[in-house]
Amino acid sequence: MRLATLLLTALLAVPDLAMAELRESTPAAPSTSISAPQRAPVEERDPQFALGFTIGAPDGAVLSLAWSPLWWLMLDAGLAYTLAPGMVFGIEFRPIDFFVFPVIHGEYGYYFAGQTSDRIKSWASVPENIWPLVGDASYSWWSALVGIGFGSRRGFEVRLEGGVTWLSLNVKGGTSSVNGVQITADPWKSQAFAPTARVNFMYFL
């Protein structure tokens, strides 16, 4: 009787052992969870536009708007004033992107006729009776400058620049009566190289 009980118990235990071995031999199913992709940090782009204020010669006082599509290149255009209103256009190269950097600058400027002719008459000690012979005067220039700058493209910068300019003065003629004689003066132009210097303040928007 005891033998029969033991045999029955063994037969009932065989299926349980077989299932346990099957579970141990079956590999675990891979995890189906998917981790979210990591986003790379977005690099903030430097400002491209800036407001500038320049004081110099022959520039005078210039208020300008600058555009910098590349960190080493800048274009600017501004309104100027000395003895008359004018305009200035420039291009600048900056070979080093650092807090202290060299500057290579070229510009063209033009001043319209205004008080320039009156100043010429006064500076040249022209007698008042022949002032009518000197008409409106305007001048233009081309400048090449090098300098050094301090500051950041993400805020405020200042530049000190110097170089040489090709200055062209254009004076219209006029007509006047001197001692009862009618005199007519032809227009004339004066051109010469001259030193140039400027200080430029710039704030990037």
pTM of full prediction above 0.85: no
Q: What is the pLDDT of residue 198?
A: 97
What confidence score (pLDDT) does residue 7 get?
46
Exposed, middle or buried: residue 53 (CB in 10 Å: 0-12, 13-18, 19+)?
A: middle
- 83 HSE (CA, 13 A, CB side): 17
Q: Quickly list DSSP for the chain.
A: -HHHHHHHHHHHHHHHHHHHHHHHHSPPPPP---PPPPPPPPPPPPP-EEEEEEEEETTEEEEEEEEEEETTEEEEEEEEESSSEEEEEEEEE----SSEEEEEEEEEEEE-SSSHHHHHHHHTT--GGGGGGS--EEEEEEEEEEEEEEE-TTSEEEEEEEEEEEEEEEE---EEEETTEEEEPPPEEEEEEEEEEEEEEEEE-
Q: pLDDT tens digit string along 72-102?
A: 999 999 999 988 899 999 999 999 989 999 9
Name the band, by pLDDT with cuts 50, 70 and 90, for residue 126.
confident
Mean pLDDT of 176-182: 74
Q: Domain boundaries in the chain? A: 49-204
What is 49-204's CATH topology?
Porin (2.40.160)
Q: Give percent of the chain with pLDDT exceeding 70.
A: 77
* pLDDT at residue 113, as a whole number: 84
